[in-house]
Amino acid sequence: MDLKEKYKMKGDSVVIPKISVRNLTVIYRGNHDTPAVQDFSFNVPAGGFTSLLGTSGCGKSTIINAIAGFVPPTKGQVLMDGNPIMGPGPDRVVVFQDYVLFPWKTVLGNVEFGPRMSGKSKNDCENIAKEYIELVGLRGYEHKYPGELSGGMAQRVGLARALASEETGVILMDEPFGSLDAQTRLIMQELLLKIWEDLHKTIVFVTHDVDEAILLAEEIIIMTASPGRVKKVIDVPMSRPRSYRDIASAEYIQIKGEVLTLIREETLKIMNVSSLVKK
Ligand SMILES: Nc1ncnc2c1ncn2[C@@H]1O[C@H](COP(=O)(O)OP(=O)(O)O)[C@@H](O)[C@H]1O
Ligand SMILES: [Mg+2]
């Protein structure tokens, strides 16, 4: 029975999650099989902001790629609105760490790309693109090329481009701010929070940065070291709108302590630093 019918049977008041990852296992086949993700389950409600937090190599990108439809499940399912994801689609967009902009197109040309693909008129595309360029604070840069921009600016263009595909309800972000300096990163986090609160997108955000996960997410899924399994799900009930000031709040510090302890356990497993492991 498909999930939609199952929910209907339970009554219409049950809401189907926007994204549902169910017992996902991904094994990369090769000379040696690499189990990347194992029996991984979580749901993201429509308009939710979920962060996947884990050490390097634990399978974070694999999960994002499975939701994006780039990597098929070896076992389990990935559903969107209750329907199995069969491949990439215009209803999901991925923002990577290395902002993949077209170097031969201007800022405007890059941001217009999504609306163009959905067949809107040239005029409409330009207006939509300008709106999101303004939203990410890049008015005046419309005619620059990616090579003329700083890393932070290029990443903002990447964000504007993702948002300009307005029909796209789900944004998958794979360590999008990983290559930015700490100050630029904080501003980008605040910008993303504001955009998420205003535009009601559903976001799955991958990071290995504890502060980033707590500041942004409603729910943090802490992953075990490879192969990635769900270690613990942490609710982040801090009120919204949030800002960088919340980093100093008692609630934040308490959550951070808990998350750091869990992540440290997994990092120690892969680093094998026996002198730091409590006997
Ligand atoms: N295309 C691939 N083929 C084979 N192994 C892969 C591939 N992509 C990732 N892996 C392996 O799967 C595991 C998880 O990788 P990844 O999802 O990129 O982790 P993370 O994003 O958390 O760093 C790692 O051991 C990695 O080497
Ligand atoms: Mg990765």
Mean pLDDT confidence for 69-87: 97
Residue 28 banded pLDDT, cuts 50, 70, 90: very high
pLDDT tens digits along 159-211: 999 999 888 899 999 999 998 899 989 999 999 999 999 989 999 999 999 99
Given a contact cutoff of 8 angstroms between Cβ atoms, the answer to whether 8 and 1 are in contact is no
Residue 41: its H or E element: strand 34-44
The per-residue DSSP string of 149-183 comes to S-HHHHHHHHHHHHHHSTT--EEEEESTTTTS-HH
* pTM, two decimal places: 0.91
What pLDDT does residue 2 have? Answer: 59
What percent of the chain shows pLDDT beyond 90?
77
Tell me: pLDDT of 71 over 90.
yes
Mean pLDDT confidence for 37-43: 98
Distance 10 CA to ligand 2 centre (A): 37
Tell me: pLDDT of 138 over 70.
yes
Residue nearest atom 11 in ligand 1 by C-alpha distance = 36
What sign results for the dihedral spanned by CA atoms 117, 118, 122, 125?
A: negative
Q: Which residue has the higher pLDDT, 159 or 97?
A: 159
Given a contact cutoff of 8 angstroms between Cβ atoms, the answer to whether 225 and 19 are in contact is no
Mean pLDDT confidence for 4-32: 81
Distance 227 CA to ligand 2 centre (A): 13
Distance 60 CA to ligand 2 centre (A): 5
- Which tokens in the block code for residue 54? 């884990």
56 CB within 6 A, ligand 1? yes
What pLDDT does residue 11 have? Answer: 57
Residue 64 banded pLDDT, cuts 50, 70, 90: very high
Distance 137 CA to ligand 2 centre (A): 28
Residue 97 banded pLDDT, cuts 50, 70, 90: confident
Q: Which of 132, 203, 152 is nearest to 174 (CA)?
A: 203
Tell me: pLDDT of 5 over 90.
no
Given a contact cutoff of 8 angstroms between Cβ atoms, the answer to whether 42 and 221 are in contact is yes
The per-residue DSSP string of 74-123 comes to SEEEEEETTEE--S--TTEEEE-SS----TTS-HHHHHHHHHHHTT--HH
Q: Which of 254, 211, 218 is nearest to 236 (CA)?
A: 218
What pLDDT does residue 1 have? Answer: 54
pLDDT tens digits along 225-248: 999 999 999 999 998 889 889 999
224 CB within 6 A, ligand 1? no
Mean pLDDT of the chain: 91
Residue 212 banded pLDDT, cuts 50, 70, 90: very high
pLDDT tens digits along 253-276: 999 999 999 999 999 988 877 777
